Amino acid sequence: MTPPRDAPEVTYVLPDVLGGVASFAANLLEHRRADAFRYAAVLTANDKVSDTRTRDPFAADRVATVGYSLPPENLYSVLRRVTRAIRPGPGVLVANDWIELAAATVHDSGRTVVAVAHGDMDWYYQLARRHSDVVDLFIAISARIRDRLLQVIPERAASIVLQPFGVEIPAAPRAAAPGRLRVAYVGRLKDDKGIYDLPLIDRALIDLGVDVRWTIQGAGPHGDELRARWSHRSDVQWNGYQPKARVLEVFRSNDVLVMPSRAEGLPVSLLEAGAAGCVPVISNLPSGIPDVVTPGITGFRPEIGDVAGFAAAVARLAGDRARLEAMSAAVRAHVARHFDATTCTAAYQAIYARYRELKRPRAAHIPLDYGSRLDQPWLPNAAVRFMRTAFRRTGSAPSATS
């Protein structure tokens, strides 16, 4: 039964960008059980950011998109727009990026603010430090991120919790198939995912006498450049953007997932691949990866940028299909035991249920340290846009909001 319209609301705010954060929110919404809350998803879309937008639906009671343009808009006008989309409390604001935290700094909606640290990157730790006075609870999705948050904001140790998210465990795993090893990359086509290593890994495999079948599942700003660098092979299957059901089928129809990422938190693709029994060969990053991949048992962890190491791991699986099947079963069992979506989502809902006790007192005024001289709450948005556009034409613009 859907709670009444005046029930407290859990609102996920996230960038309208295809990727792990969108999958995180979508999975939590899809697998939630009925409780005392209404649920919402608010997507923030900066038209100055060139990236693939989220397309899969969110299983929420309401979904809203906030479009904006930074720069040249007045930051305070944008924050008012974001706050209107969030709506006043009671309930929970689940923050996944900077703009909703900035909005919560300027406008107290009455919500309990839960900030999710998605990556083992300076960006997320800087957000935690900058917005510590606004955030009521920090959720770290991996042990590494939790430990780093404890170092960055030790005074908030009591309000930092470790809570991984989960993925759906398919009823049937991938099935073994004779012939060429089936290898996939699934994720955003962006350079920070290490995608330019993929054609190099393929060349190294060819030099080892190993011919595999490649599937590239995803979209992103660097897809065309990746294709250009993979000109030595014409049989790569490029799937582009696909709805979630089709993406999950990729894991079930491949043997190995190759992820040469440069930085991660807890990759959704890693968990989805493992749930299907697709064996991961992924960069040896400290966050999330060791929680899933035990080398030689549930996958392999070559070092970042080690093209030869990635190729050797894939070649090892291609040459020993019995080992491949044993590792496939092991990684599926591990993900099912520790990262099942139903169990993990219930843990998130248990956190939200404590929203009243988690709410901390906050100062009447908390300074906002974003923006430039033109970002002022009293300046009309139209005037700021006009001035920034004029300054940009003359080359004398003050620092724009980022």
CA pair distance 314, 254, nearest whole angstrom: 13
Question: Residues 160, 150: contact at Cβ < 8 Å?
Answer: yes
CA pair distance 393, 389, nearest whole angstrom: 6
Residue 377's beta-bridge partner residues?
A: none
Q: Which domains does the chain have, with CATH numbers?
A: 9-166+343-392 (3.40.50.2000), 182-339 (3.40.50.2000)
Tokens of 7: 């029930």
CA pair distance 367, 387, nearest whole angstrom: 24
Q: pTM of the full predicted structure? A: 0.93
Q: Which pLDDT score is estimated for 371?
A: 86
Burial environment of residue 94 by CB neighbours within 10 A (0 to 12, 13 to 18, 19 or more): buried
Q: Give Dmax over CA atoms of the chain in angstroms.
A: 68
Q: Which pLDDT score is estimated for 5?
A: 81
97 by DSSP, 3-state: which?
A: coil
Q: Which pLDDT score is estimated for 193?
A: 95
Peptide bond into 72 cis (omega under 30): yes
Say which DSSP state 277 is in.
T
| b/e per residue 180-207 (b: at least 16 CB within 10 A) | ebbbbbbbbbbeebbbebbbbbbebbee
Rounded mean pLDDT for each run of 10 residues along the chain, 402 residues in total: 86 93 96 97 91 86 96 95 96 98 96 97 96 98 98 98 97 94 96 97 98 96 96 94 93 98 95 98 97 98 98 98 98 98 98 98 90 91 91 55 42
- CA distances to 143, 250, 282 from 302, rounded to whole Å, are 20, 23, 7
